[in-house]
Structure 1
Amino acid sequence: MANGMNLRKVMCVILTLLVFQAVTISQSNSHNIPYKVWYLYPGLRLQIEDNPQLNIYCYSGQPKHIINIWQTALLQLAVKNDKYELYDGANQNEVLAEYEEHRSSWAINPFSWKQKDIKLNPFNQSCVGIHSLEKYGIYLNIIRIDYWRVLLLGAGVLLFISAPKLSNNPLFYYISGISVGICASFLILVYMMSKLFPKRPVMYGIVIGGWTVGIYLLQLVWENLRLIIIQYQTHVLSYVVFTGLVSFVVCYRLGPVTDRRSKNLIKWALQGASLTMVFVSSQFQEASVAIIVILLAAYNFPAVWTSKLLAYWKRQFPPKMKLLNEDEYYEQGVRETTKALEELRGYCSSPDCNAWKTVLKLKEPIRFASFMNGTSHLNDEELLAYESEARRTLTEYYTDDDSESGSEY
C-alpha cells in the first residue's frame, strides 16, 4: 500500500513539472515566430537555402469546374534528408498555431510522416509550413487529370453495379473470407505480442504523452513491419500461405452464405464501400455527391418505367432496317440452315424426342439415320435440281433486265 502511495506521489510530481515546463516554453516561444509566406502558382519552382525560419507556402486554388473534377495539386519537396517538419492548415494563421503548439510542448507532430509529395486542395486555399535547417527545393505540380482518381471512380461505380452479383458469388465469398482471415491473423499476432509488454509502463506513457504517443508507436511498428517484410520475405510468404489455407478451410467448412438477409447485408456493405470510393475519388465534393445521387437514382429506378421509356423511344425513333445484298442473303441462309439442322440433330438425340414414333412417321428412315450421323440432308438428285433451278432463275432474271433496257431505247 505504501509503495502504491509513493508511486502516485512520484507521478503527480512528474506531471506537475511537465505542465510547468510546457507553460514556460510556450510563454517564451510565443513572443516572436520568424516566418515567411510564399504564394504558389502552377509550375512554380523555388530553391530555399539554409534558413532556420519557418516558410509557409499557400496555394489559393482554382475555380471549381466540371472539367477539373479529377485535378490534383501536389507540392513536391526535394530534400536530401528527413530533418524537416511539416505543418498544414487552411491559412497561414492555422499553420503558425500548429507550429507554435508543436514548439511549446514536447508532443509529436502527427503530420510528420516525412512525405515528399504533399497533396493540396486544388479548389480551396491551403497552406503548408516547412521548417528545415537544410536547403531544399519546392515545385508545385498541377495534374489536370489524375488517372488514379479516374480509376478509383471507375472501380467504385463498377463495384456498386456488381454488388448484387458479388453477394451471391461463391468465389467472391472465398476470396473475401481468405483476405479477412489473413488480416485477422495479423491482429491476433499483434495481440499475442502485446502480452509480452508490461502493461503499467505503457499505460503511464500513453497517459502522459496523450494520443500522440500512440501515433508515434504506430509509426514505429509500421517502419519495423516494412523492414521485416523486406528482409524476411520467405517467412512472411509462408505465414501468409499458411493463414490463407486455414482461412480457406474455415470458409469451406462453413460454406457460402445462403441466408437472404445476410446476402443483403453483404450487398449493402459493398455498395457503401463503393459510394465511399466515389466520394473520395475527387476533391470536387459537389460533383462526387452528384455522381452518388445519380447512381442511387438509377439503381432504384423502377424497371417498369425503364421498359416504358425504351418502348416510347423506339416508337418515336425506330431503328433503321438494313437491307441485305445478295451475298449477305446467301451467307445468312447458309448460316441459319446449318444452325437449324444442328438443333434438329440435337433434339432428335435428346431424351425429349420419341425416336421410334418419329421413325414411323418418316418415309425414308435410313436416310434420316444417315442424316443423324452427319450426312447431308440433301442427296445428289436434289442438289442437281436445286442448282438447275437456281441457274434457270438467274438466267430469266438477266434476260428480263436486258429486254427492259432494250425497250427503253
Structure 2
Amino acid sequence: MHLCVVSCLIVSVVGYSSKLPVISIREGLESRERGPQHFCYHNHLVPGWRETWTRIQIKVCSSQQLKVTVVQDEEELQELEHFNLWTLMRYFLREQSNETTINVDLFSAKTCLRVDPSSRDAEYIVKLERKFDIYLFLVFLAGLLLFLCADSLSRSQVFYYSAGMSTGMIASLIILIFIMARLLPRKSPFYVMLAGGWSFSLYLIQLVFRNLQLILREHWHLAIGYTAVVGFVSFAVCYRYGPLVDERSINILSWTLQLFGLLLVYAGIQVQQVAFAIIVAAFCSKNLEYAARLALTTYNKMKPDWMRKVEPRRLLTEEEYQRQGEVETQRALEELRAYCSSPDFSTWKTVSRLQSPKRFADFMEGSPHLMPNEVSIHAQEYGLGSSFFEDDLFATDEEDEDEEEQDRILKREEHVKELFWNHRDM
C-alpha cells in the first residue's frame, strides 16, 4: 500500500515520460497542450526607457486545477523530472489554481516553467502578454507624491488617523501577536509559538490579498464587520496617544515617508536605470530650494556695495506713527525711571531743583508723567479741531490764494507787454 502511494507521487511529480520536450513561448501565439509539459520563453528585448512601465506576463489558464513551477533554464527543468526529496516538497507546497500568472523579468534572458495539470486529459492554454501596466504607474505616482508631500503629511492629523487605521486593519494579527509577546513572561514556552506566529501572520496576510476579490464578493458582511471593529479600535488607539507633537518625531516620520516613497518609486519602474535617475532627480528637486536659498544668501553677502540696489524706505502710516510714538515714549520713561533709581543718580541734588518733588516721587512709583489737565490742553492745542490745526489749515488756504493772485498778476503783466510790443510794431 505504501509503495503504491509513493509510486503514484513519483509519477505525479516527475511526469509520465522520462524526458519532455521544451515548447517555446512566443508573443501573440497561444499554446494549447494536454498533460505535463515544459515551456521556455526567450527574451530578446533590450529594455529601454520605453519599457519603464511595461509588464511581460505568462498566463496559464485551464478549466481544471493545475500546478506551475517556474525555473530559470532547461537544465533545471530536466532536474524536475528526477525524483528527490526537495522536488517532492516543492510539489506539495505549490498551490493549485485554474489560472496562474507569471511575471517575467525584463532583464532575464530566459524564463522556463513546468505545467502539471490535475488530470492527464485536462487542456490548458499558455500565452504571453506584453502590455502597459497601469498598476506599476500608480505605484510610481503614489511613491512620488508621498516623497514630495512627506513634510505636510507628517504634520497632518487626517493622515495620522487614516494611516493608523489602515495599519491596524492590514496588520491586526501581527499587532495582536506583538501585544501578546509584551504581556507574556520572558521565560515562557509560548515564545516558540510566537516565533512561528509571525510567519503564519505574514502568510495569512498574503493569502487574504491573493483572494481579496473572492472574500469581498462572497463574504462581504464579514469584511464590513472586520473593517468596522478593527477600524474603530485602531482609531481609539490613535486618539489615545494623539498626533505627533515633538519636532524630532515629526522629522523622523517625514524621513520615513520619504524613504518609503522612494521605495515605491523604485518598485513602480521596471528599468533600474530609469528608476535611479528619477529618484536622484526627485531628491535634488526637493532639496534644491534649500541649496538655492543658501547660494542666494551667500551671493548677497559677497556682492559689492555698488551692485546692491538701494530700496526706498517705506513711510509710516498715521496709525503706525502714533503706535510707534506711544511705544517709544513708554520705553524712554522706563529708561528714565531706571536711571533715576540707579546709584549714579544724585537724588537730593535733583530734588532740590524741582518745583514739584511730590510729582517726581509719584512718577518714580509708576504714575503718569502728565497730569490730566496737561493732556486736555495738549489735545485742545494740537488735536483734531484745535487752534493749531485750524491755523495750519487756514494758513494753507491763504497761501494757495496768494499763489493764485500772484499768477494772475504775472499773466496780466505778460499780456500788457505783449500789447505794447504789438502796438510798437504797428
Question: TM-score range, shorter-chain basis?
Answer: 0.5 to 0.7
Of 261, 275, 283, which aligns to 2:262?
A: 275
User: Distance in 2 between the 1:77 and 1:257 partners?
Assistant: 49
Alignment-derived partner of residue 127 in structure 2: 139
User: Distance in 1 between the 2:204 and 2:18 partners?
Assistant: 30
Alignment-derived partner of residue 25 in structure 2: 40
Matches for 1:3-402 after TM superposition, within 5 Å:
33-48=18-33, 50=34, 52-82=35-65, 84-98=66-80, 100=82, 104-108=87-91, 110=93, 112=95, 114=97, 115-125=99-109, 126-132=111-117, 133=120, 134-143=122-131, 145-187=132-174, 230-301=217-288, 303-305=290-292
TM-score (norm 2): 0.54
1:24-47 deviations in Å (ceiling 9; x for gaps): 969x969x7422212233212222
Q: Cα distance, 1:191 vs. partner?
A: 9.0
Change (3 A) 1:174 1:188: closer
Q: Which moved more, 1:148-157 or 1:298-307?
A: 298-307
Contact 1:87 1:95 in 2 (8 A): no
Paired residue type of 2:73: N
Contact 2:269 2:275 in 1 (8 A): yes
Contact 1:85 1:131 in 2 (8 A): yes
Change (3 A) 1:284 1:97: farther
Paired residue type of 1:138: V
TM-score (norm 1): 0.56
Identity of aligned residues (%): 27
Structure 1 stretches of 5 or more lacking a match? 1-16, 194-198, 313-346, 348-358, 362-409
Q: Cα distance, 1:108 vs. partner?
A: 4.5
Alignment-derived partner of residue 351 in structure 1: none
Contact 1:34 1:54 in 2 (8 A): no
Structure 2 stretches of 5 or more lacking a match? 181-188, 300-318, 320-382, 386-426
User: Distance in 2 between the 1:252 and 1:67 partners?
Assistant: 46
Partner-residue secondary structure (3-state), 2:261: helix
Q: Cα distance, 1:190 vs. partner?
A: 7.8
Count of residue correspondences = 283
Paired residue type of 1:124: S
Contact 1:58 1:92 in 2 (8 A): no
Change (3 A) 1:108 1:35: closer
Q: Cα distance, 1:54 vs. partner?
A: 2.7
RMSD, matched Cα: 4.7
Partner-residue secondary structure (3-state), 1:300: helix
Paired residue type of 1:127: C
Q: Cα distance, 1:240 vs. partner?
A: 2.0
Change (3 A) 1:266 1:57: same
User: Distance in 2 between the 1:119 and 1:218 partners?
Assistant: 21
Partner-residue secondary structure (3-state), 2:63: coil
